[in-house]
Amino acid sequence: MEKSIEAIWKQGFLHSDALIAPKINDIYSKKSMHIIEKFEKMFLVNIWGIIIGSSLLFIGAYLAGATFAGSIILLMMLYVAYTAYHEMKTLEKIDKGQNSYAFLKSFKDWIYRSIERYGNMYRIVYPVLILTFYFGIWFSDVFVNIRELVVEQSNDLIFGLHIYTTVVVIITAVMMGVFSKAIHRRDVKTMYGGIMKKLDLALAEMEELRE
């Protein structure tokens, strides 16, 4: 005789092994891996963004007759991308065998170490980029008419550059060099803010769990 589903259900759970609860251990392991995997993906997209963006900028600079400036920017950004790639490789070295809390802590430490290192690098990169961009545009073929107009209408020139504009650009470049770490920190927050918030939340929960 065919059993009803109600009977199957009741009789099936009479077996002692049917309702054994799994052990709760390292409750956050999957979540931790997920956070870091997501970060790695975004980091990789960011690296490709730098490579593609600087390549397009180089093409634009070449077409505008500012090949030299475009080359400097391209080389500098490729250096940034290479550093980022190298940095990502060090992320892979974080011991995945440790518990989730230690794992996420190591990851957070890595982020802050990385921001520190990047901040130092950008101390040079930001000013060079701004100055190259400024000089590159000023002396490019597409800027000929404006350049001639400035020469005609202003006496405040030095090496063919408008003095006050140049001073403002140089001060901006210097300031960006000085505040490179703070600017980079803000950049990181804009790009990875969501994931960092998740990381902080997960760590806070884990700390509560550990108590």
Partner 1 sequence: MSSDFYNSSILPYAAIIIKICRAYTNTQEDFEDYYQEVCLQIWKSRNNFRGQSEWSTWVYRLSLNVSMTLLKKQKTNVQQLDSGFLPTEVSEEPRAFADDSLEQLYSAIRQLSEIDRGVILLYLEEKSYQEIADIIGSNPNNIGVRIKRIKGRLKKLLDGKIN
Which window, 9-17, 57-65, 69-77, 170-178, contacts partner 1 (CB under 8 A)? Answer: 9-17
Q: Are 73 and 132 in contact (CB under 8 A)?
A: yes
Binding track, positions 111-140, relative to partner 1; x by CB under 8 A: ------------------------------
Residue 146 or residue 201: which is nearer to partner 1 going by CB? 201
11 binds partner 1 (CB under 8 A): yes
3 binds partner 1 (CB under 8 A): yes
Q: Tell me how far CA of residue 125 lies from CA of 122, 178, 181, 182, in angstroms.
A: 4, 11, 12, 14
Q: Which of 13, 48, 82, 164 binds partner 1 (CB under 8 A)?
A: 13
Binding track, positions 15-54, relative to partner 1; x by CB under 8 A: x-xxxxxx-x--x--x------------------------
Report the C-alpha gap between 177 and 121 in whole angstroms.
9
Site residues, partner 1 (CB under 8 A) = 1-3, 5-6, 8-9, 11-13, 15, 17-22, 24, 27, 30, 205, 209
